[in-house]
Amino acid sequence: MLRIGLIGCGRTVQVAHAPALQKLGDLFQVAAIADQSPEALELVGLQLGLPAEHRYTDYRAMLVQEELQVVDISLPHAFHHEAAMAGLMAGAHLISERPLALSMHDAEELLRIAEMRGRLISVLHYYLYYPPFQEAIRLVRSGAIGTPFFIRCEGVTGGFGAGTESFHPQWHENPEIAGGGVWLDSGYHAGYLCVALMGSPVRSVSAHVDNYATDLAVDDTVAALMIHQNHGVSSIQAAWSVLGGGRRVFEIYGTEGAIALDHEGYPLGHFSNATRAWEHPEIDGGHAESFIRCFTAIAECLRFGAPPPISHRDALHALQIVTAGYRASERDEVTGVEE
């Protein structure tokens, strides 16, 4: 069993990380938690049945006083790098909410240190473990839609999920804490999903990222076009600026068929060009299952040497896509992801 410490006890931990770890009590023992908010600390402590002496208002003290094999970082984006560095210096493997850092320089530094120390860094690309997306990836890799060439991803909403009330529920709108807006937050997920479903890294990005309809100090709307190394195309539109909301779309088109999530009341639909018909595979599990499956894969990597669920290259590439999108928007030009 892996002894794990949680850095951050905000809403994501309360509704996702902590319940998943409770379900996986045969793999993980939550040994300690840390958060600067006494209210959040008490809430998660009670949720996990953790004694008061293992709850810390300073994660640095937790790292010194507790023997931890793994540290799970779930903080606002700007604080990921510092907490990750502290965890590595304490000798722990890292699980981190995305992004690993706000700059390529900081992310690469962490990965170099992890490699030198023989530690794993696993960034939570948890949508890859959402059961409908897992089935979509399986179908694509089995050749069910032939060669994928176009992906359409749209998530247009009226705002972001609030953080914990006891710290800063609107931290997503503060650029000094969030590091960016909807493109960094929602676009990051869309980017790595498109890479996995296209089966090819992104070569270049063109994007327009701006604030149109809110008083946020960060971007509230993005339209991006990604060209993959296999010449496939992914189109991403995301917004926090549309109060009426919009239909969420995730569609993958291939030479022999198509896949659509949330199709006609089913989690996923598969269209075959040969039969001209839709099928709806049976899919078990919802969003909560995403974290359970992701944490399970991390435990299998650490305990049995299984491949990491998200490689260092995957985590860096996802951040490269986001930073390339911001540069493309600033320069008003197509930007290579490795510039």
Looking only at the bridges linking them, the beta strands covering 257-263 and 70-73 are unpaired
pLDDT of residue 141: 98
Q: Is 168 helix (H, G, I), strand (E, B) or coil?
A: coil
Confidence check: pLDDT of 126 > 70: yes
Neighbours of 25 (CB within 10 A): 10
Tell me the pLDDT of the chain averaged across its residues. Answer: 95
pLDDT tens-place string over residues 229-266 = 999 999 999 999 998 888 899 999 999 999 999 999 99
Any idea which architecture 127-336 has in CATH?
Answer: 2-Layer Sandwich (3.30)
CA–CA separation, 308 and 314 (whole Å): 10
Neighbours of 273 (CB within 10 A): 13
Mean pLDDT of 193-214: 97
Angle between helices 312-331 and 182-198 (to 10 degrees): 120
Confidence check: pLDDT of 171 > 90: no
Give the max Cα distance, the chain: 63
The least confident of 33-37, 118-122, 165-169, 318-322 is: 165-169
Percent of the chain predicted with pLDDT > 90: 91
Burial class (CB in 10 A: 0-12, 13-18, 19+), 331: exposed
pLDDT tens-place string over residues 62-87 = 999 999 999 999 999 999 999 999 99
- Asked, as a colleague might, if the bond just before 99 is cis with ω within 30 of 0, I would say yes
User: Residue 339 — pLDDT band, cuts 50, 70, 90?
Assistant: low
**C-beta of residue 95 within 8 angstroms of C-beta of residue 299:** no
pLDDT of residue 212: 95
Confidence check: pLDDT of 175 > 90: yes
Q: Which of 322, 328, 324 lies closest to 337, judged by CA?
A: 324
Q: Does domain 2-123 have CATH number 1.10.8.60?
A: no
DSSP 250-271: EEEEETTEEEEEEETTEEEEEE
pTM: 0.95
pLDDT of residue 166: 64
Domain coordinates of the chain in residue numbers? 2-123, 127-336
Tokens of 198: 């296209």
pLDDT of residue 165: 67
Mean pLDDT of 120-146: 97
Give how far the C-alpha of residue 105 lies from the chain's centroid of Cα atoms, to the nearest Å. Answer: 19
Q: Which of 264, 281, 282, 262 lies closest to 272, judged by CA?
A: 281
- Outline where the chain has alpha helix (H): 11-12, 18-23, 38-48, 59-65, 80-89, 104-117, 131-141, 175-178, 182-198, 287-304, 312-331
Tokens of 288: 């909560």
**151, β-bridge pairs:** 234, 252
pLDDT of residue 281: 96
Percent of the chain predicted with pLDDT > 70: 98
pLDDT tens-place string over residues 271-327 = 999 999 999 999 988 889 999 999 999 999 999 999 999 988 899 999 999 999 999
pLDDT of residue 286: 87
CA distances from 323 to 95, 193, 263 (A): 22, 16, 32
